[in-house]
């Protein structure tokens, strides 16, 4: 009986360890697990750090697009990044009459590719320290690898730091950033 109890305990410990490993592969963003088998929208709506981004995506009519097949790489600004914009900017952009401008800004955060940070770092290295990439919105972003961390510079010279990289989605990847990227207007 003692051997059976020991084997049962060992099995329970092993199962517990495996379930912890399985859980660890789904990174936490905004207090919520991000599941690789869910799409960008299905995960983003659960992040308390991305409520402004989700509201903006809804106002811009981009929900269906970002639930689509992809692949997409999304540089996802946090609520704090949106709050750092000049006072009233977000409220103004969310108005129906500013939908085209909002769509332009949001699609300048999306690349039509599945680019994990290791891929970005390889492209940056191959291009001599920086890699320029076109977004779905037609903007040009400059990607850099600064001391092992990816940065993204918009057309106006604003630099966003990737604070959480490689959040795998069923239709691409999300990289959380600390600034809103803006197109040249």
What percentage of residues in the chain have a pLDDT greater than 70? 86
Least confident of 13-22, 73-82, 87-96, 149-158: 13-22
Q: Taking 70 as the threshold, does the pLDDT of residue 127 lie above it?
A: yes
In order of 8, 62, 89, 141, 153, the CA distances from 20 in angstroms are 18, 35, 42, 37, 36
Written as six digits, the tokens of 167 are 């959040």
In order of 10, 44, 54, 106, the CA distances from 154 in angstroms are 53, 22, 21, 12
Q: N- to C-terminal Cα distance for the chain?
A: 76
pLDDT in tens, 141-173: 999 998 889 999 999 999 999 999 999 999 999
Domain ranges of the chain: 25-177
In angstroms, rounded to a whole number, what is the distance separating the alpha carbons of residues 9 and 90? 55
- Fold of the domain built from segment(s) 25-177: FAS1 domain (2.30.180)
pLDDT classification of 27: cutoffs 50, 70, 90: confident
pTM of the model: 0.84
Q: Taking 60 as the threshold, does the pLDDT of residue 6 lie above it?
A: no
Q: How high does pLDDT run on average in the chain?
A: 85
Q: Taking 90 as the threshold, does the pLDDT of residue 100 lie above it?
A: yes
CA geometry: angle at 107 spanning 181 and 90, to 5°? Answer: 55
Q: Taking 50 as the threshold, does the pLDDT of residue 135 lie above it?
A: yes
Written as six digits, the tokens of 16 are 């517990």
Question: H-helix or E-strand containing 74?
Answer: strand 72-77
Nearest of 65, 26, 71, 75 to residue 46 by alpha carbon: 26
> Strand, helix or coil at 145?
strand
In angstroms, rounded to a whole number, what is the distance separating the alpha carbons of residues 180 and 160? 7
pLDDT in tens, 83-92: 999 999 999 9
């Amino acid at each position: 009986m003692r051997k059976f109890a020991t084997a049962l305990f060992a099995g329970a410990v092993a199962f517990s360890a495996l379930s912890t490993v399985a859980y660890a592969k789904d990174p936490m963003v905004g207090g919520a697990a991000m599941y690789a088998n869910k799409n960008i929208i299905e995960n983003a709506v659960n992040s308390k750090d991305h409520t402004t981004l989700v509201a903006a995506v809804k106002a811009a009519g981009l929900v269906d697009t970002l639930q689509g097949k992809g692949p997409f790489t999304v540089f996802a600004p946090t609520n704090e990044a949106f709050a750092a914009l000049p006072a009233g900017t977000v409220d103004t952009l969310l108005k129906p009459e500013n939908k085209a401008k909002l769509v332009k800004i949001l699609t300048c955060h999306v690349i039509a590719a599945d680019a994990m940070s290791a891929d970005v770092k390889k492209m940056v290295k191959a291009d001599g320290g920086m890699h320029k990439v076109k977004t779905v919105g037609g903007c040009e972003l400059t990607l850099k690898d600064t001391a092992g961390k990816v940065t993204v510079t918009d057309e106006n010279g604003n630099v966003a730091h990737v604070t959480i990289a490689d959040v795998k989605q069923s239709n691409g990847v999300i990289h959380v950033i600390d600034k809103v990227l803006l197109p040249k207007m």
